[in-house]
């Protein structure tokens, strides 16, 4: 079974219904020269799986998954380690699994890809963007469940406003997402094995734009990362998952009102007009 293999590998939130969006083809790579005008005013991030909790009615577990709502569609970034928890939280937050049209997996570790198989049993009408380095067993599982996959090696466009850094070496190889908002770049990381500062620098390099917000697991970096974020001009931070409590508190102290408590049930809305 797929999950058996993975076992070896390793501020107030609120509820509301999230509308279904239908995708357009997203095969064009970076650069942003064809970047379309937005058709709605917000980009929304919704934490659906994390070991930190914001809304008490939801389930927590070690891992990470976030739903990204753009003006065009809903994208699921990572799936946590347990599909039952993932699907429970999504439904409690009013997100139908069938509303997801694209899934992006950051890296091979089970706390990020472990919920994928169960999710695909609920919705196989998705395209899954996986690092090209993924083992054949994962690719076979996606096909067996009736879904499609795209292997990602270099930077590319995923959807309107949404790009991947491509595989960056950790180990393991890992991709992060970049959302091109009018406020600046939003960088979403799964576990930041390549180094959270390296990922932020890569996003700035690829998009030639300042970083507005960094969200996700920072992989327990040294406290000096806070100073480096300031030097890089990062305006807001929402560290979660594997960042580490001491580092999160250092970010909270430095960023103050620009620190966002991110965990299950948290909804972040970024104006995009």
Written as tens digits, the pLDDT of the chain (273 aa) is 444 334 333 333 333 333 333 233 333 344 443 333 344 568 999 999 999 999 999 999 999 999 999 988 999 999 999 999 999 999 999 999 999 999 999 999 999 999 999 999 999 999 999 999 999 999 999 999 999 999 999 999 999 999 999 999 999 999 999 999 999 999 999 999 999 999 999 999 999 999 999 999 999 999 999 999 999 999 999 999 999 999 999 999 999 999 999 999 999 999 876
* Residue with the two structure tokens 């970010």: 251
State the CB neighbour count (10 A cutoff) for residue 128.
Answer: 25
Integer Cα distance of 174 and 219 in angstroms: 12
**DSSP 8-state class, residue 257:** G
Closest CA to 269 of 213, 216, 218: 213
**DSSP 8-state class, residue 72:** S
Closest CA to 269 of 25, 70, 34: 70
**Rounded to 5°, angle at Cα 155 from 149 and 157:** 65
Stated pTM of the model: 0.85
- State which H helix or E strand residue 128 sits in: strand 127-131
Closest CA to 52 of 223, 229, 248, 194: 248
Contact by Cβ (8 Å): 154, 175: no
User: 181: which strand partners?
Assistant: 184
Which phi-psi region, left, alpha or beta, contains residue 182 (left: φ > 0; alpha: ψ -120 to 50)? alpha
| Residue 144 in tokens | 């067996």
- State which H helix or E strand residue 48 sits in: strand 42-50
Non-local CB neighbours of 167 within 8 Å, separated by 6+ positions: 131, 132, 133, 152, 153, 154, 173, 174, 175
- For each of the domains in the chain, give its residue range(s) and CATH number, in order of start: 41-271 (3.60.15.10)
| Residue 221 in tokens | 């970096």
Q: What is the 3-state secondary structure (H, E, C) of 184-211?
A: EEEEEECCCCCCHHHHHHHHHHHHCCCE
Phi, psi dihedral angles at 3 (to 5 degrees): -65, -30
Contact by Cβ (8 Å): 79, 116: yes
């Amino acid at each position: 079974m797929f999950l058996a293999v993975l076992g070896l590998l390793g501020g107030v939130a609120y509820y509301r219904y999230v509308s279904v969006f239908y995708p357009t083809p997203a095969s064009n790579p970076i650069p942003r020269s064809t970047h379309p005008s937005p058709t709605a005013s917000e980009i929304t991030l919704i934490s659906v799986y994390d070991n930190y909790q914001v809304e008490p009615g939801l389930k927590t577990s070690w891992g990470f998954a976030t739903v990204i709502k753009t003006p065009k569609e809903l994208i699921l970034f990572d799936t946590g380690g347990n599909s039952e928890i993932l699907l429970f939280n999504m439904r409690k937050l009013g997100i139908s699994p069938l509303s997801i049209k694209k899934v992006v997996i950051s890296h091979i570790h089970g706390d990020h890809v472990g919920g994928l198989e169960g999710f695909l049993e609920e919705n196989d009408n998705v395209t899954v963007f996986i690092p090209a380095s993924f083992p054949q067993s994962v690719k076979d599982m996606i096909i067996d469940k009736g879904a499609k996959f795209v292997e990602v090696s270099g930077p590319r466009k995923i959807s309107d406003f949404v790009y991947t850094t491509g595989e960056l070496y950790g180990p393991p190889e890992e991709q992060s997402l970049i959302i091109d908002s009018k406020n600046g770049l939003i960088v979403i990381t799964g576990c930041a094995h390549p180094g959270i500062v390296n990922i932020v620098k890569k996003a700035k390099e690829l998009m030639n734009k300042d970083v507005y917000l960094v969200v996700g697991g920072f992989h327990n970096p040294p406290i000096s990362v806070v100073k480096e974020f300031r030097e890089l001009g990062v305006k807001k931070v929402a560290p979660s998952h594997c960042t580490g409590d001491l580092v999160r508190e250092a970010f909270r102290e430095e960023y103050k009102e620009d620190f966002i408590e991110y965990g299950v049930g948290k909804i972040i809305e970024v104006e995009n007009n």
